[in-house]
Amino acid sequence: MKEKRELLSLDKEELEALLLSLGEPRYRAGQIFSQLHRGLSPAEMTNIGNKTRERLAEVVDFHLPQVCRKLVSAIDGTVKYLFTLADGNAVESVLMHYEHGTTICISSQVGCAMGCKFCASTIGGRVRNLTAGELVGQVIAAARDSGERIGGIVMMGIGEPLDNFDNVVKFLRLVNHPEGLNIGYRHISLSTCGLVDKIDELAALSLPITLSISLHAADDETRSAIMPINRRYNVAALLAACRRYYAVTGRRISFEYTLIAGKNDSAAAAKNLALVLNRALRTRSDTMPIHVNLIPVNEVAETGFRRASAQAISRFAAVLEENGIRATVRRRLGSDINASCGQLRRAAQGEGEMQ
């Protein structure tokens, strides 16, 4: 028997081709596509006849991620979902409320292969990539559960999005589709630990999304010690890729910098960070706007890393500003619900609730 395809992973053209092959008219694909992305299952589509539904069910599977756990922050209303996937694996997504609307943070893989020393998501390694349908499914399931319109997406949950390149790119096109969720590329951010070859591939596609670089240290010795990827692509190679990305897309890049007590939070480290960024990205011909997000590290029991002190954090920000680098300290949404990536999945694993 031919393996069934996953309905949510199909783009509009693939759905059209499939429906035509089933003897259905082309416009049926548009009807199904838009309703799927509004959160309806095929069974709930009242304008699709039973015969069509049955024919479709013979060739495709439909699974929306299921809410396994849901935590709502009493402080700021941030909602954290633990979603179960069709094969029993689980990933996390977080709904965040800003003045300009609701943004969702989604996961890109089950687990992660990158091995960053401070991160909970990578502790059990990478289990598998998420499909395009599971990526868009997180957005659809959260919108359906919350009844909210989601206007922005950040790919900062579990996993390294550029390590799941093809599915992530398909996902970006799916959520941007005017007959689907219609989320503008400018309202989508993708965060990476620095896969240089993939940053170049992404630049070549010229999608005007925002790229976020998880830098966390500006000298190779410190960065290699906390982020193994730095041994493959060092700081200079990464910043050169950032320059190329900016040259091609014209999109500003933001840098994430997690402050860990005693590791990367000294005034000297701040000064060096400013120097390295200015040198690499602000040559005479290039005046790339640079923004650094400072994130006090979330303490994960297994890593033993401690948060930088409030004093060290404000000193770090001040030194960056003095040296011409705009910096903000990230507001910690959902601090009472373990909203940082990977922590809820690990907690549920510990309690034997999921695989």
Residues designated catalytic:
92, 341
Between 154 and 270, name the residue whose CB sits nearer to ligand SAH.
154
Alpha carbons 118 and 304: distance in angstroms, whole number:
8
341 binds ligand SAH (CB under 6 A): yes
SS3 155: strand
Q: Least CB distance from residue 314 to ligand SAH, whole Å?
A: 18
Binder among 256, 273, 316, 337 for ligand SAH (CB under 6 A): 256
Binder among 150, 172, 300, 327 for ligand SAH (CB under 6 A): 300
Alpha carbons 293 and 177: distance in angstroms, whole number:
30
Region binding ligand SAH by CB under 6 A among candidate stretches 36-44, 123-131, 266-274, 297-305: 297-305
Give which of 313, 34, 308, 9 is closest to 181, Cα–Cα: 34
| SS3 of 197-240 | HHHHHHHHHCCCCEEEEECCCCCHHHHHHHCHHHHCCCHHHHHH
Q: Which residues, 6 or more positions from 23, have their beta carbon under 8 angstroms from its beta carbon?
A: 55
Give which of 259, 116, 129 is closest to 192, Cα–Cα: 116
Between 29 and 195, name the residue whose CB sits nearer to ligand SAH.
195
Between 8 and 213, name the residue whose CB sits nearer to ligand SAH.
213
Between 297 and 333, name the residue whose CB sits nearer to ligand SAH.
297
Between 268 and 301, name the residue whose CB sits nearer to ligand SAH.
301
118 binds ligand SAH (CB under 6 A): yes
103 binds ligand SAH (CB under 6 A): no
Binder among 145, 340, 344, 348 for ligand SAH (CB under 6 A): 340
281 binds ligand SAH (CB under 6 A): no
202 binds ligand SAH (CB under 6 A): no
Q: Least CB distance from residue 68 to ligand SAH, whole Å?
A: 20
Q: Least CB distance from residue 120 to ligand SAH, whole Å?
A: 6
167 binds ligand SAH (CB under 6 A): no
Alpha carbons 326 and 317: distance in angstroms, whole number:
8
119 binds ligand SAH (CB under 6 A): yes
- Helix H or strand E encompassing 33: helix 27-37
Q: Least CB distance from residue 12 to ligand SAH, whole Å?
A: 28
Q: Least CB distance from residue 208 to ligand SAH, whole Å?
A: 19
Region binding ligand SAH by CB under 6 A among candidate stretches 10-18, 71-79, 130-138, 185-193: 185-193
Between 256 and 265, name the residue whose CB sits nearer to ligand SAH.
256
Binder among 15, 56, 68, 297 for ligand SAH (CB under 6 A): 297
Give which of 162, 208, 159, 166 is closest to 188, Cα–Cα: 208
CB-side neighbour CA atoms (13 Å) of 247? 13
Alpha carbons 320 and 267: distance in angstroms, whole number:
9
298 binds ligand SAH (CB under 6 A): yes
For 235-302, give the DSSP string: HHHHHHHHHHHHHHH---EEEEEEEBTTTT-SHHHHHHHHHHHHHHH--TT----EEEEEEEPPP-TT
191 binds ligand SAH (CB under 6 A): yes
Q: Which two three-digit tokens encode residue 120?
A: 């909970």
- Contact residues toward ligand SAH (CB under 6 A) are 116, 118-119, 156, 160, 191-193, 214, 256, 258, 295, 297-298, 300, 340-341
